[in-house]
Chain A
């Protein structure tokens, strides 16, 4: 058994997740963390599982991709022993007219302030562009990052907010 990183991308149709999960279960591969969404209507799934050798998994997925509508990749990865992510969770929201380089500019500033993007979604609907990112920040950097994000947003003529995404233990 080894850790495998698998991506499946292509034309959406009902049943892809069930098909992929069925193939993996049939191989005794245990699906651990996964995420799936639709990106402009395309099916997009990324997952990590513990399974047999990558070639065997790729071969087992081949019937699903044979018609050329889906692309699947399988790669062995080193298990990441790192514990829970460190830092304070914040949410960055950006919206405005679509501009080249919004994601690049925003995430670069986050990186330069020592932050780490842990989750990100962007959507373009009509003329509206939206970016939502979960970021982990080192202590006492939020204010500075907020200032820099506002400067970037001004240049790009978009709106930006940085909010603490704190959770309450109940």
Chain B
């Protein structure tokens, strides 16, 4: 079954049935970040726990709007996103986790400067689609969804889907002089 577009089939983190425990985030050059994640069974209890733990880790990480399984050292196609309250957010689907997500459509490419919890000292200019259609399975329920995301949520989804393919934003920077030292805000 495929849920209608722009709906996550009513999914909320409650569907995972557990609060999750924060895990340690690994940083580059940890090899886990460069390994493509394997496809998962969205209803496998291990997948469900992983999704819950990713959401728990995201919640305790200041400024974090997304986190993928390879960032906690697990090579699996699972990630979570939450752009609620972000000033650049256009579509907002709340806090959600996805399994085996793939990009179905990508358009309206826009540059933007990204940082990543797993690359703590650098930022880089990366072009991302600001209009995205993603197909994925919801952890816990296994329901297949296909939905559209715009603006910042679309950027976050592409960043996390990249993580699940073993790619960092460093693999997509716009040029030799498009990487910057991350600033410490006063």
Chain A interface residues toward B at CB < 8 A: 35-37, 83-89, 118-119, 121, 134, 136, 138-139, 165-170
Instruction: Contact check, A121 vs B177: say whether CB atoms are below 8 A apart.
Output: yes
When distances are taken between beta carbons in the complex, the residues of chain A under 8 Å from B155 are 168, 170
State A144–B177 Cα separation when bound (angstroms): 28
**Which stretch, B46-54, B112-120, B139-147, touches the partner chain A?**
B112-120
Evaluate whether A168 and B121 lie within 8 angstroms (CB atoms) in the complex, with A83-B184, A85-B184, A119-B180 already known. no
Number of inter-chain CB pairs below 8 Å: 67
When distances are taken between beta carbons in the complex, the residues of chain A under 8 Å from B181 are 84-85, 118
Residues of B143-185 whose CB lies within 8 A of A: 152, 155-156, 159-160, 169, 176-177, 180-185
Instruction: Contact check, A170 vs B185: say whether CB atoms are below 8 A apart.
Output: no
- What 1/0 flags go to B32-52 for Cβ under 8 Å of A? 000000000000000000000
When distances are taken between beta carbons in the complex, the residues of chain A under 8 Å from B108 are none
Q: Out of A86, A136, A170, which one reaches B65, CB within 8 Å? A: A170
Instruction: Contact check, A88 vs B88: say whether CB atoms are below 8 A apart.
Output: no
Q: Out of A83, A138, A169, which one reaches B186, CB within 8 Å? A: A138
When distances are taken between beta carbons in the complex, the residues of chain B under 8 Å from A35 are 177
Instruction: Contact check, B177 vs A167: say whether CB atoms are below 8 A apart.
Output: no
Indicate if B75 sits at the interface (CB-CB under 8 A): no
Chain B: residues with Cβ within 8 Å of the partner, total of: 29
State A88–B176 Cα separation when bound (angstroms): 22
Evaluate whether A84 and B182 lie within 8 angstroms (CB atoms) in the complex, with A119-B177, A168-B88, A170-B160 already known. yes
Q: Which of A35, A87, A170 has the most CB of B within 10 A?
A: A170
When distances are taken between beta carbons in the complex, the residues of chain A under 8 Å from B63 are 169
Instruction: Contact check, B183 vs A89: say whether CB atoms are below 8 A apart.
Output: yes
Instruction: Contact check, A168 vs B65: say whether CB atoms are below 8 A apart.
Output: yes
CB distance from A137 to the nearest CB of B (A): 9
Instruction: Contact check, B180 vs A89: say whether CB atoms are below 8 A apart.
Output: yes
State A167–B112 Cα separation when bound (angstroms): 7
A89-B183, A119-B177 known; 11 new pairs, CB 8 Å cut-off, are A84-B184, A86-B184, A89-B180, A138-B186, A168-B115, A168-B155, A169-B115, A169-B116, A170-B66, A170-B114, A170-B155
Indicate if B100 sits at the interface (CB-CB under 8 A): no
- What 1/0 flags go to B43-87 for Cβ under 8 Å of A? 000000000000000000001111000000000000000000010
Q: List 5 A-B contacts (CB under 8 A).
A: A85-B183, A87-B185, A121-B177, A167-B180, A170-B160
